Structure formats: structure tokens, C-alpha cells
A = this chain, B = another copy of it.
Amino acid sequence: MPSRIPSYPGSILVERAQLKLEEAGTGIESARAATQAMLHASRLGIDSHGFHLTSAYCRMIHSGQVKPRPEMKVTRTGPATAMIDAGHGLGHHPSYTAIEIVCEMAKEAGIGAAGVFGSSHNGAAGTYALAGAEAGFIALSSTNASSAVTLHGSKAPFHGTNPIAAAAPVPNSRPWLLDMATSSVPLNRVFLFRTLGKELPPNVAAAKAGAPTTDPSAADMLLPLGGADFGFKGAGLAGLVTVLCAALTGGTPDCHMARMSGAKTSAYRNAGHFFLAIDPARFAGATEFAQTMITYLAALREVPAKEGAAVLAPGDREWAVAGERDATGIPIDPETAAFLGL
């Protein structure tokens, strides 16, 4: 975001966002979890999933698409598995609950997995993987989403942006943290570029009928990661997310899921999420795992970069932004600032 945008301390934003969600009727647990997830995203520079979502969440509650006070049900279905019915509430509270449970199960069984269904948007997938890594586990988090991304060679969108997030603890360091959409760019970047009048990179978006375009105003759908020649890989990964998050959990597949924004709808989205935690102690051992993470990341940081480029591990950029924003505040766009009463 341009630097002229005013910045605010996270604590103020947390307070205001929670207030707005509670005013909309959201229960305290749902509101707290949503706010925590937005803080994660805003701190790390993932502005598409930061506090600007507060108004979208309030709108979903007002329209009836999301239940403000859902009844969440957790069921242990096996020594290493659990299912969580999110009760058609916001996805954040069941997702933080899920990552806690998979870590507990991983402690007991070596690995744990949980499916969440009857859910809606759960923010940046990385916040849950990160929570797992902070508890000492390799953790994965994924969610399906409503259709926005074409298949490789299709004229119409089919998969959601279906992110895959993974995190792993690193001794004396912030965790290794990968949080990526399986499209090249998120939908919100297209909207942002429209506002800024900026051209999109090639092969990330398409106009109606699937023709690639770099004009954000003409863009009607996203293209899968891999571009013009290798989009089948991005589409395959998006499909894996649908298999894990919808088919496995009982969530609604992307192509049949109600959109989060756009037309006012009271149809529940029934989004699905999938979470996994792995205990390194049951594999090479916690000490050897930690040692290899150090060696591996040290070697990575020694790889020579091309001129004008920097060699980064997943999360490096995000942790740098978090450092800056912890010091100088989180930039908030004027519309969101107004909504939050700032």
C-alpha cells in the first residue's frame, strides 16, 4: 500500500474490529478468533486478508450467510483424527480449535489431522499453520473457496484460490512459513490493481471466455499457478485442496459454493478446511530435525542472488514486514479506517 495511507497500532485495530463484529451480533469466540486472524494477516503484510475483511465479515453476518453465534461441534473420530462442524459460523474459531486438536493428537499419535465443514471464510491459511509450528510441530492448513480460478485451458473459473499453508519451527528464529494461493495472484490483487490503474503480470488473469489479459478492469477470472504452459500444476494443486477440504470433510466443492461477496445471499457456504500436524520427535527426532532446519536455511541464505534479486526462505518477507509494522503500525485503507471508526 502507498505510504501516505495512515497506520495504526495492532492493538487499536484489534479493539475496533472486535467491536464491529460484536455490534453485528457475533459471539465473543467468533469475534476474537476472526480478529486474531486479521491481525496475523495485517501484521505480516497480507493485506488482502487483514482488517479490511472486517466489513465483509459483518456483511456476511447481516445477510444471514454466516451465523453470528454458531454451535461448533468437535468429534474425535480416531486416535489421530477429528472432525469439526463449524455450524455455519465464521471459519476462524473452528480453525484455531482444529490446529490445537491436531497438535494434541500429533503429540499422542505422531501425527494428527482434522477436517472442518459447515464453515465460511477463515482468513489467511498461514495463521493456523503458524500456530502449529509455534507449538513445535510441522503444520499444514488449507481451505477451499468459491470458484475464481480457471482450469488449465478452460474458459470459465472452476476452483477457488485454494491456499496451501505450511509452517515448521526453527530454533532461535521465527518459523519457516509458506502461505500461498494455488492461483498466481489472489483476486484482491486484481481489484487493487484496478484502483491503482496498474497492469497485471502476464498469465495470471483472464477476461471473459478465458483469454489471458493484463488489464485488471477486463479481468474476470484468475489463472492457475504455472502460467500459460504449466497451469495444469496449479490446477492440480487446487484440486488436491478441494479433495482434502471438501470431498474429505463434507464441505461443498468450490464450483458449488456460494460466493462470499457480490450478490446478497443467505445460502450457507459450507466451506471446508483441512489441518495436519506432525511431531518431529516421532521421525528423525526433535534435535536432529531442528539441526537440519538450521543447516538447510543457512545453506539457502548462502545461495548467490541475481542482480536486483534477493534469495528468501518462505516467511522471510512476511517476518520483515511484521517487524516494520510492529514498530510503525499497520497501514489501513481509508474505507476500512472509516468502517472501523478511525
Q: Which residues of chain A have a CB within 8 Å of any CB of chain B?
A: 77-81, 83, 108-113, 115, 117, 138, 151-156, 158, 164, 166, 168, 176, 178, 180, 184-185, 201, 203-204, 209-211, 225-227, 229-230, 232-237, 239-240, 242-244, 246-250, 253, 255-256, 276, 278-280, 282-285, 288-289, 292-293, 295-296, 299-300, 303-306, 309-314
Q: DSSP majority for the A interface?
A: mixed
- CB–CB A243/B293 < 8 A: yes
Q: Is the CB of A253 within 8 A of B296?
A: yes
Say yes or no: B153 contacts A110, CB within 8 Å.
Answer: no
With a CB–CB cut-off of 8 A, which chain B residues contact A288?
250
A168 and B243 in contact, given A110-B113, A236-B180, A256-B299 (Cβ under 8 angstroms): yes
Quick one: which of B113, B284, B311 contacts A278, CB cutoff 8 A? B113
Partner of A248, one of B184, B229, B283: B283
A250 with B284: CB separation less than 8 A = yes
> With A282-B78, A303-B154 as given contacts, are A247 and B210 in contact (CB-CB < 8 Å)?
no
Alpha-carbon distance between A227 and B79 when the two chains are bound, in angstroms: 42
A161 to chain B, nearest CB (A): 12
